[in-house]
Amino acid sequence: MRKQYLFIFLALIVAHTSQAQTRTTRIGYIDMEYILENVSDYKEAKAQLELKAQKWKQEIETKKLDINKLKEGLKAEKALLTKELIDERETEIKFLEEEMLDYQQKQFGADGNLIRQKAALAKPIQDQVFTAVQDIAEAKNYDFVFDKSSDLTMLFSNKKFDISDQVLRVLNRTDKREQLTKKQLKEQEVKESKENEIDENPAMADRQKALDEKKAAREKLIEDRRLEQEAKKKEYDDRRKAIQAEREAKKNGTVSETAKTGEAAKTDPASATAKPATANPTTGTETAPATTEPVVDKAAERQKLYEARKKELEERRKKILEEREAAKKAKEAETQKTNTTNN
């Protein structure tokens, strides 16, 4: 009986050990500096702190200029002063120099105001980052998560193990959730779930990118077709108005402007580009004819634009078909490679 229990115990230990060996260790890292620089609250507070530091620097420079002026004055008047006055001036200068150095150390030293205020500024964001990292690590089974910007030396880091953008999304989601309604909150949760799936599967991220590119190309094609239809409709309306004007002119026994221009161009090409001389009723003299620009055939011009647009759309359509074919071949190659690896 004891032998049976011992055998079962040993079997359980072996199974547990083999399972632990087959499980791969998951490691990720973040860049705290990158995260802080992309948080709007931190950026605004940091800008205000930099303005304050600039003011401290200006105060230090002013103190230095005052001390230099006292030194120059002492140097110029030293020959005229007694030893007591010289000692008094030198003591004053030394006191001001020590005061200036103390002020500089107080503001910019290793434990100065600038360092302490920077730490106080970053601490709330860092606490949120640590909480977000723990949530991501627990949800996605990370064994270790390092900070690239810390004292830890990372000689090489693969970008695919960087979860800084995921942490930023968690921080932004927390800020947005406070301002969303229930419906918007539900939509946000669906979007977050999709983003998490993409983070988990890099191949899905590439596939999503290809889908977004195809969607953008399709929307552009639809917009081009809409513009083409509007151009055709405008051309049709212009022709309809011209025909209606000619009919009205014939009905009233007059000639429309379009017909007049056409007849003048047939009989006398020069008359289509120049007006006849007119007589001045007061002087009885004729004024010189006023030349005008030749009449532009708008219909022909529109037809040229239409042909050029049609050619451009055809080229774009061919390009989109080629890209789809290339993506299809790449997908088939990837599937074949995956099947080969699995086999």
**Among 167, 112, 228, 3, residue whose Cα is nearest residue 120:** 112
DSSP 214: H
Q: Which residues pair with 279 in a beta bridge?
A: 286
Please report, for the chain, the start and end positions of each structural domain, with discontinuous segments joined by +: 30-161
Query: CA of 1: how far to CAs of 5, 7, 8, 9, in Å?
Result: 7, 10, 11, 13
Q: What are phi and psi of 180, to 5 degrees?
A: -95, 150
**What is the C-alpha to C-alpha distance for residues 328 and 334, in angstroms, rounded to an integer?**
10
**Among 211, 231, 184, 244, residue whose Cα is nearest residue 324:** 211
Helical packing angle, 298-342 and 202-252, nearest 10°: 160
Model confidence, pTM:
0.43
Tokens at residue 88, please?
Answer: 């008094």
pLDDT tens-place values along the chain, 343 residues long: 555 554 565 565 655 555 545 567 788 888 888 888 888 888 888 888 999 999 999 999 999 999 999 999 999 988 888 889 999 999 999 999 999 999 999 999 888 999 998 888 888 888 888 888 888 888 888 888 888 887 767 777 788 888 888 888 888 776 665 555 555 556 655 665 666 555 555 566 667 777 778 888 888 888 888 888 888 888 888 888 888 888 887 777 665 555 555 555 445 554 444 444 444 444 444 444 444 444 446 677 777 887 888 888 888 888 888 888 888 888 888 777 777 766 5
**Residue 150: Cβ within 10 Å count:** 13
**What HEC string does 171-196 produce?**
HHHHHHHCCCCHHHHHHHHHHHHHHH
For residue 326, what is the enclosing H or E element? helix 298-342
3-state secondary structure of 255: coil
What per-residue confidence (pLDDT) applies to 331? 80
**What is the C-alpha to C-alpha distance for residues 169 and 195, in angstroms, rounded to an integer?**
9
